[in-house]
Structures are given as structure tokens and as C-alpha cells.
């Protein structure tokens, strides 16, 4: 036997036996400490029962998220190589130098899942990404209509067209807004039309933290968006092969014809997925009441349809003894439920959230048919992996995040020991049983609201506070009253007897809207958060995932990142000055309870962005109406007091040419100068010169004066294909010292 491998290492002789003993003790203590750490980690994994499918889905999503966060190909390759190296190291390192085999395998599997996520999203971007047009243009286009999206609430129709761009004749997909006044019967999918259109590159975020439509358009294959100018000429009627689309449109029209007003538009959304007729006022109320999920065809609606089909199939098939004795009814009913879910998904447009919900519900049906646990984290993980494999970019959107966060919260809550004990059968009357179910419904709504609040604040900078209360009433009302009544009314319409059911459905939807408007109108019903960094959001998500997925006492470790994220979000100040990417819009916060704006924009999109990202919901005031500002036809100037010093802002209002000497003198007295045009080199403010030249590189700006911090849109874009600007490699300008 070779004893050399187990002998202690040779320690250099020091001539001091005591010194040699101390060195040996330190060596063995180090070996014992490392072994203990590995054993502790292995024991924690073993105690948790480590649900590998769930954590593999998390690692896969982490790889997709890393691809977006990292700047470009060099960083992507480095991260991929690191993940691969970690996996190889975990697999090849012998046990005597590492923890146990199970832990090493888990580390290797997670690292490979991260690598797979990065590769999937990188490949998806390369295959589907559409290079945006270089500049705005007004052109005459011939193209084939691929899709038609009705939006009567906005008095327009959206057309997705396949065209050839006039510059380089490359094939491209564009989206155009057509006014309802110019609509014709022949403007349908499959038709070839000629239009004069104003095309624009897909818009990047207006401000740091705003919605990134350019990224969404990249993955949808849209090279440009725009609007139709003038009449449309139909060159060829074509053939519309989208029968499901026609059926969806016909169903929406039928519902709105039978049930008018706001209830009719919501009924159309529930029946066909068409939300284009919902009034903005109702949309806002549903959002602020935490009920927007009821308008989007997702898990609730698909699950209700599948559950109804499953239960009805089981009841009706059980009435046939011959079949019940020869066929496993749960399997047959699950198949019928799955067909109902797929049909409903196709009928409502087969959007990614609906497909995601259908897949998840299908897995639940499969578990029921096989006699397995119907709803588990493993099922949620499989559904998430399926969606992310097909649409990895959906991870970045609030729809994916909110739907899976809600489902994970529900599963984690109902799998907890306390909830299982609370819901366990006991000898009690129906009243006590119903009371416990009502309490559980409220607790579930509260947990969902807590899980969704960070996501809503990050993406929309606002979140409803009373959503748990509203959902206790709205979810049962929609699931067990409104949707069944709509289905019954459609069925009775085949016999011409649907009027009573439509009346009842309308009353139930009026009650739903009343709940939404009442909840949204309560004081403090909406909380706003102007700014949440990506790292703060990552802390929220990581803590929530740990709380939900890791069983046992160790799950409480997830509270630490959540607490840190809450403190970071609370302590992050709102920006003092917001500058849009084109330099036309400037908003100033902190001067009382009102938001000051350079231009009084009629665009609700612009106004909403400025209000949300400043954290001020009241109507803005134009600077020329503010007593503390000095405005002419060409410029506005204002002095702000922050952190014990004065900041002088100068903002251009027109493109009128100003004498260079006068402009240079005004710039010299200002700390910040903003203009939607290029300013001459002689304009040298003391801190920031945000003219067109700079804003083309940086995008919109959020400036915090007290901390002298500038955030730009470019900071979060890297070198991805949808970003047309260039990162400004220079350091942030240093503020002047007074």
C-alpha cells in the first residue's frame, strides 16, 4: 500500500519544534475547516431535498438575464467560458479536494444551465433580430399585410406589413397605425396595399428605466414603426389564410354587438382576447386596483376553461357505465380538457402569456391523469423551461415575470406546513369550512400582491396596494360568474335565446368595473417608485426565489436580500431633472408637489413617462407658468436649490439661431444646458451639455443633483443590436464646486 498519499505534507524545518507543531496544527485546521464547509453545504442540500428541476430553471433564466446585462460578445464569451470551466472543475475535482459528489453534480448542472440560457438567447437574437432603419423617412410603400390589430378605443387599426425598404431593398417587417377614417373593407391580412407612410426606427426608452420598445421590436422582427399618411390603395385583395384570426375578430364583434359599452369591451377581451376596445379609463382603474391580470388571457382564464371542460367531461362520461368500466375517465377527461385549452388559446390569439398558461395547465392535466401531484414546483419549472426555450426574450417582460411569480407564490404558500395544517379536513360544518377557504383566498391574494409588487414597481414604477382585497371579490366573480355567463350566452345565441344571459353577464362585469374604480379611487391605493436599479430588482428576485424554492429553516435566508433591496429602493432618491432622448422634453421634480415641464406635451405617452419616472402623479405645470422660472420664446432658465447650493439650468425651447456670443455667455453661467439641437463648441456649461450630439450617444438622462449622479439610457444597453446609440466612454462630468 502506498502511504504517501495519506501522509501529512512536509513542513520546512525551522529548528524550533514548537514552531513545527504550530505549522502542522494550522495546516490540519485548514483542511478540517474546508471539509466542514463542504459537509455543511452537502447536508443543507440533502435536508432540502434539492428540487433540481426548479433550480435548473432558475439557472437557465439566470443565463438569459446575464446575456442582457453584459455589454457585448466579449463579455458573453467570457461568461460562457466561465460557466463551462466551473462545470468541468466541479466534475473533475476529486472528493478529497472538494465537497461530496452530489453537491459537485449540482454545481455542474447549474453552471451548464446558465451556459445553455446564454446560448439560447444569443441564438434567438441572431436569428430573429431585425436591424432597425437608420433614420426617419416618409416613403411610399407596397407591402403585404401580415396582421391586423383592431384598436377602436384609440380610433385606429394597426397593420403589420412585409415590405422592402427603399434604401437597400432588404425585406423587412414594419408596423403602421392606420386611422379608422382611412380603413377599408379590403385592408385585411393577405392583401397587398400601397401607402404613404412615415417610418421611424423602433423607439428606445425615453428615459432610464422606461419601457424599451426597441428591444421588444428587435425580437418581434420589426425594423420600423410609423403611421399611414393619406388614403390606402388596395393592389390585391389576396387570400386571408388566418381562419382563426377571422374567427377571433368575428367573435369579438358578436360579443360587442350583444353587450355594449365597457362591459361589452371586457366581455370581448374575456371571450376572444381582443382588448382593443377597452377604454383607457377602465384600463387605468383595473391596473391601479391590481386587476389587470383579469383582462389579459392568461393562467386564470385558461385554467378556468380547462377545469370546466375537465369537470364536465368527468361528470358526463361517468353517466355512461359501459365507458366508465372500460376506460380510465381521468385520462379521457384530461384529454378533453387539454383540447379545450388549446382551442381557447388559439381562439384568443395564442399570445406568449396564453401559450405559457396553456402549457402549465396541460402539465397539471398530465399529472392528474398519471395520478401525480397536480400542482408542484417541478411542474412550474417544466412550464418555465418550455416557454424560455421557445421565447427566451419573454423573461425580460413583466408578463412572464408576474405570471410565474404569482404561480410560484401560490404553490410555495400552499405547500407550506402551516397552510396544509390550516386547510386539512376536520369535523366542522359547511360554514366553518367556507370561512377557512375565504381566509385562505385573502391570504393567497396578499401573498401574490407582495410577490408582484417589486415587479410592478420596477417595470411600471407604480403598484396597487389594495389588490389583495379587490382580488378576493374580483377573481371569484370573474371565474365563477362572468365567464360562465358569457359562455352560456354564446351557447344560447345559437338558438337565439342568449339575451337573458347577456344581461346577467353585463351586470356582473359592471360590478367588476365598480370594484376596480372604487378600489383605485381610495386614498393611498397606488404607491409609486421613480427609480429602482437593476441590482436592487435582482436582490428582490433572488430573495423571493430562495424563499419560495428552498424548504426548511434555510429558506429564511431569502429575507436578507429582500430587506437589503427594500432599504436600497427606499433610500434611492428620485431624480431632480429628467431629459428625454431627443432633448425636447425636460421635467424638473422637487419644486413642490407639482412636476415642472419644459413643454406641455399632448402625448399621454410622454406625460406618463415623465410622471412615473419622477414619482409625481399630479398634472405637470409648464415652466413658462412657474414663477421661479424665466422663459423667453427661445430659452427657459431656472435655479434649483439642492444640498445647500444653487444649480442653474438653461433649456432651449426653439430652434431659432442665437448669436453665438450671447449663447456662449449664457452657457457659461449655467451648470446644465439642454437642447434638442447641436450647440456650438463655444457653449461650455459648468457641468452638463445635453445637446443633440450628446443625447444621440447617451439617450435620455436622469440627473440627481444632490449626489451629482447622471444615469443614461445607454448605461443599460451595452452593444446589443437594437441600440443605435454609442456608449459614452468618458466619465460622468464632475459638478462644479461652489
Tens of pLDDT, residue by residue over 664-675, are 999 999 999 999
Per the DSSP assignment, residues forming a β-bridge with 642 are: 645
- Residue 236 pairs in a beta bridge with 192
In whole angstroms, what is the distance from residue 249 CA to residue 729 CA?
50
CB atoms within 10 A of CB 33: 10
Q: List C-alpha distances in Å: 231 to 17, 188, 342.
A: 99, 15, 39
The alpha-helical segments, DSSP class H, found in 521-591 are 534-549, 559-571
pLDDT digits (tens, 9 = 90+) for 210-222: 999 999 999 999 9
Per DSSP, what are the bridge partners of residue 595? none
Whether the pLDDT of residue 97 is over 70: the answer is no
d(CA 193, CA 233): 6
pLDDT of residue 311: 83
Please state at what angle helix 559-571 crosses helix 534-549, rounded to 10 degrees: 160
Concatenated DSSP letters of 134-182: SS-EEEEEEEEEEEEEEEGGGTEEEEEEEEE-TTT--EEEEEEEEEGGG
The vertex-217 CA angle with 236 and 132, nearest 5°, equals 80
Nearest of 738, 732, 574, 709 to residue 646 by alpha carbon: 738
The per-residue pLDDT for 43 is 56
Distance separating the N- and C-terminal Cα atoms of the chain: 79
pTM of the complete model: 0.82
pLDDT of residue 300: 65
For the stretch 131-188, pLDDT in tens is: 899 889 999 999 999 888 888 878 889 999 999 888 777 889 999 999 988 888 888 8
- pLDDT above 60 for 517: yes
Checking if the pLDDT of 563 tops 90, the result is yes
Separation CA 586–CA 651 (nearest Å): 8
Determine the length of the chain. Answer: 738
Model confidence pLDDT, tens digit, residues 475-499: 888 888 898 898 889 889 888 888 8
Asked if 313 and 323 touch (Cβ cutoff 8 Å), the reply is: no
Predicted confidence band of residue 225 (pLDDT cuts 50, 70, 90): very high
pLDDT at 14: 43
Kind of pairing, strands 192-200 and 222-228?
antiparallel
What span, in angstroms and rounded, lies between the C-alpha atoms of 107 and 116? 14
Phi first, then psi: give them for residue 652, nearest 5 degrees: -80, 140
Give CA–CA dist 348/358, Å, rounded: 12
Average pLDDT over residues 340-355: 75
Contact 297, 271 (CB under 8 A): no
Better-scored residue on pLDDT, 13 or 430 = 430
User: Of 95-99, 409-413, 460-464, where does the model show the most confidence?
Assistant: 409-413
Under the phi-then-psi rule, with left for phi > 0, alpha for psi from -120 to 50, and beta for the rest, what region is 155?
left
What whole-number distance in Å separates Cα of residue 106 and Cα of residue 42?
A: 10
Nearest-angstrom CA–CA distance, 381 and 356: 12
CA atoms within 13 A on the CB side of 54: 20
CA angle 407, 399, 476 (to 5 degrees): 50
Residue identified by cell 435548473 is 56
Q: From residue 124, give the alpha-carbon distance in Å to each of 68, 389, 614, 713.
A: 12, 10, 35, 23
**Sign of the CA dihedral 476, 479, 483, 484?**
negative
Q: What is the pLDDT of residue 322?
A: 84
Task: Yes or no: say if 299 and 403 are a contact pair by the CB < 8 Å rule.
Answer: yes
- Is 61:72 a contact under the CB 8 Å cutoff? no
Confidence (pLDDT) at 239? 66
Residue 278 above 70 pLDDT? yes
What 8-state DSSP symbol labels residue 645?
E
Provide the grid cell at 94.
476529486
Q: What secondary structure does DSSP assign to 471-492, as a single string?
A: HHHHHHHIIIIIHHHHHHHHHH
Q: Mean pLDDT throughout 464-484?
A: 82
Q: Which position has the higher pLDDT, 22 or 433? A: 433
Q: How many C-beta atoms lie closer than 10 Å to residue 715's C-beta?
A: 17
Q: Determine how β-strand 577-579 pairs with β-strand 586-588.
A: antiparallel
Nearest Cα neighbor of 490 from 150, 153, 257, 334 is: 257
Cα separation values, 577 from 122, 199, 372, 389, 598, Å: 35, 30, 56, 41, 11
Q: If you ran DSSP here, which 8-state letter would residue 679 be given?
A: P
Residue 440's H or E segment, with its range, is helix 430-460
Whether the CB-CB separation of 251 and 271 falls below 8 Å is answered with yes
Residue 303's nearest CA partner among 382, 251, 374 is 374
Write out the three cell numbers for 644. 445647500
Q: Strand, helix or coil at 651?
A: strand
Q: At CB < 8 A and 24+ separation, what contacts does 393-396 make?
A: 393/121, 393/124, 393/125, 393/215, 393/219, 394/352, 394/356, 395/61, 395/64, 395/65, 396/65, 396/68, 396/215
**What is the percent of the chain where pLDDT is above 70?**
87
User: pLDDT band for position 3 (50/70/90)?
Assistant: very low
Q: Which residue has the cell 443633483?
A: 705
Residue corresponding to grid cell 479536494: 97
- Report pLDDT digits (tens) over 580-613: 999 999 999 988 778 999 988 777 788 888 888 8
Q: Which domains does the chain have, with CATH numbers?
A: 23-128 (no CATH), 137-241 (2.40.50.730), 247-528 (no CATH), 534-571 (no CATH), 577-716 (no CATH)
Query: Within its chain, how far is the Cα of 332 from the centroid?
Result: 37
In the three-class reduction of DSSP (H, G, I as helix; E, B as strand; rest coil), residue 423 is classed as helix
Instruction: Give the C-alpha separation, 237 to 240, whole Å.
Output: 9
Q: Percentages helix, strand, coil for the chain, rounded to the nearest 5?
A: 55, 15, 30
Mean pLDDT of the chain, nearest integer: 83
At 223, is the pLDDT very low, low, confident or very high (cuts 50, 70, 90)? very high
pLDDT top residue among 284 and 7: 284
Q: How confident is the model at residue 98 (pLDDT cuts 50, 70, 90)?
A: very low
Highest mean predicted confidence (pLDDT) among 231-235, 325-329, 397-401, 440-444? 231-235
Residue with the three cell numbers 415587479: 455
Amino acid at each position: 500500500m502506498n502511504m504517501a498519499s495519506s501522509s501529512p505534507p512536509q513542513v520546512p524545518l525551522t529548528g524550533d519544534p514548537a514552531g513545527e507543531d504550530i505549522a502542522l496544527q494550522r495546516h490540519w485546521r485548514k483542511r478540517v475547516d474546508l471539509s466542514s464547509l463542504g459537509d455543511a453545504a452537502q447536508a443543507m442540500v440533502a435536508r432540502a431535498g434539492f428540487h433540481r428541476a426548479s433550480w435548473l430553471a432558475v439557472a437557465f433564466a439566470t443565463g438569459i438575464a446575464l446575456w442582457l446585462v453584459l455589454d457585448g460578445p466579449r463579455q458573453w464569451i467570457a461568461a460562457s467560458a466561465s460557466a463551462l470551466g466551473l462545470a468541468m472543475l466541479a466534475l473533475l475535482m476529486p472528493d478529497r479536494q472538494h465537497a461530496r459528489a452530489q453537491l459537485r453534480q449540482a454545481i455542474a448542472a447549474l453552471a451548464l444551465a446558465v451556459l445553455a440560457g446564454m446560448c439560447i438567447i444569443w441564438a434567438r437574437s441572431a436569428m430573429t433580430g431585425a436591424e432597425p432603419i437608420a433614420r426617419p423617412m416618409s416613403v411610399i410603400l407596397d407591402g403585404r399585410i401580415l396582421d391586423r390589430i383592431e384598436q377602436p378605443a384609440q380610433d385606429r387599426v394597426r397593420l403589420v406589413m412585409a415590405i422592402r425598404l427603399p434604401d437597400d431593398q432588404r425585406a423587412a417587417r414594419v408596423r403602421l397605425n392606420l386611422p379608422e377614417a382611412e380603413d377599408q373593407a379590403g385592408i385585411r391580412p393577405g392583401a397587398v396595399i400601397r401607402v404613404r407612410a412615415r417610418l421611424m426606427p423602433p423607439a428606445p426608452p425615453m428615459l432610464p428605466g422606461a419601457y424599451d420598445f426597441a428591444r421588444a421590436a428587435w425580437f418581434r422582427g420589426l425594423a420600423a414603426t410609423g403611421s399611414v399618411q393619406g388614403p390606402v390603395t388596395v393592389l390585391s385583395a389576396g387570400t386571408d389564410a388566418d381562419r382563426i384570426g377571422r374567427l377571433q375578430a368575428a367573435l369579438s364583434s358578436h360579443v360587442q354587438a350583444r353587450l355594449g359599452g365597457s362591459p361589452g369591451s371586457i366581455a370581448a377581451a374575456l371571450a376572444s382576447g381582443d382588448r382593443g376596445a377597452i377604454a383607457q379609463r377602465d384600463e387605468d382603474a383595473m391596473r391601479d386596483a391590481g386587476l389587470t391580470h383579469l383582462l389579459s388571457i392568461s393562467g386564470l382564464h385558461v385554467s378556468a376553461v380547462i377545469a370546466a371542460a375537465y369537470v364536465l367531461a368527468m361528470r358526463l362520461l361517468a353517466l355512461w357505465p359501459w365507458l366508465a368500466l372500460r376506460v380510465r375517465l381521468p385520462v379521457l377527461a384530461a384529454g378533453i380538457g387539454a383540447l379545450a385549452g388549446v382551442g381557447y388559446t388559439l381562439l384568443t390569439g395564442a399570445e406568449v402569456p396564453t401559450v405559457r398558461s396553456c402549457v402549465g395547465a396541460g402539465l397539471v392535466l398530465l399529472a392528474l391523469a398519471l395520478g401525480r401531484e397536480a400542482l408542484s414546483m417541478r411542474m412550474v419549472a417544466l412550464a418555465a423551461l418550455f416557454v424560455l426555450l421557445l421565447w427566451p426574450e419573454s423573461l425580460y417582460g413583466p408578463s412572464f415575470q408576474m405570471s410565474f411569480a404569482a404561480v410560484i407564490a401560490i404553490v410555495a404558500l400552499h405547500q407550506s406546513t402551516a397552510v396544509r395544517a390550516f386547510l386539512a379536513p376536520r369535523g366542522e360544518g359547511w360554514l366553518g369550512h367556507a370561512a377557512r377557504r375565504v381566509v385562505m383566498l385573502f391570504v393567497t391574494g396578499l401573498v401574490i400582491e407582495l410577490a408582484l409588487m417589486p415587479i410592478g414597481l420596477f417595470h411600471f414604477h407604480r403598484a396597487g396596494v389594495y389588490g389583495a382585497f379587490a382580488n378576493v371579490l374580483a377573481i371569484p366573480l370573474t371565474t365563477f360568474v362572468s365567464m360562465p355567463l358569457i359562455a352560456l350566452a354564446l351557447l344560447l345565441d345559437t338558438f337565439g335565446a342568449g339575451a337573458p344571459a347577456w344581461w346577467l353577464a353585463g351586470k356582473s362585469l359592471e360590478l367588476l368595473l365598480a370594484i376596480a374604480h372604487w378600489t383605485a379611487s381610495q386614498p393611498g391605493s397606488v404607491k409609486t417608485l421613480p427609480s429602482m436599479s437593476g441590482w436592487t430588482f435582482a436582490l428582490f428576485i433572488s430573495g423571493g426565489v430562495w424563499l419560495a424554492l428552498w424548504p426548511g429553516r434555510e429558506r429564511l435566508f431569502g429575507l436578507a436580500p429582500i430587506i437589503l433591496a427594500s432599504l436600497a429602493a427606499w433610500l434611492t432618491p428620485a431624480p431632480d431633472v429628467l431629459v428625454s432622448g431627443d432633448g425636447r422634453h425636460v421635467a424638473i421634480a422637487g419644486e413642490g408637489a407639482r412636476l415642472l415641464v419644459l413643454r406641455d406635451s399632448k402625448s399621454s405617452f410622454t406625460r406618463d413617462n415623465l410622471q412615473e419616472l419622477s414619482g409625481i402623479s399630479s398634472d405637470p405645470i409648464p415652466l413658462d407658468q412657474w414663477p421661479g422660472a424665466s422663459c423667453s420664446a427661445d430659452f427657459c432658465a431656472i435655479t434649483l436649490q439642492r444640498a445647500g447650493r444653487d444649480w442653474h439650468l438653461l433649456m432651449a425651447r426653439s430652434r431659432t439661431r442665437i448669436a453665438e456670443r450671447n449663447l456662449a455667455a449664457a452657457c457659461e453661467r449655467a451648470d446644465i444646458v439642454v437642447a434638442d439641437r447641436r450647440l456650438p463648441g463655444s457653449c461650455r456649461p459648468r457641468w452638463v451639455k445635453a445637446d443633440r450630439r450628446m443625447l444621440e450617444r447617451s439617450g435620455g438622462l436622469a440627473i440627481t443633483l444632490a449626489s451629482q449622479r447622471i444615469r443614461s439610457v445607454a448605461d443599460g444597453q451595452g452593444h446589443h443590436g437594437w441600440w443605435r446609440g454609442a456608449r459614452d466612454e468618458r466619465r460622468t462630468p464632475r459638478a462644479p464646486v461652489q
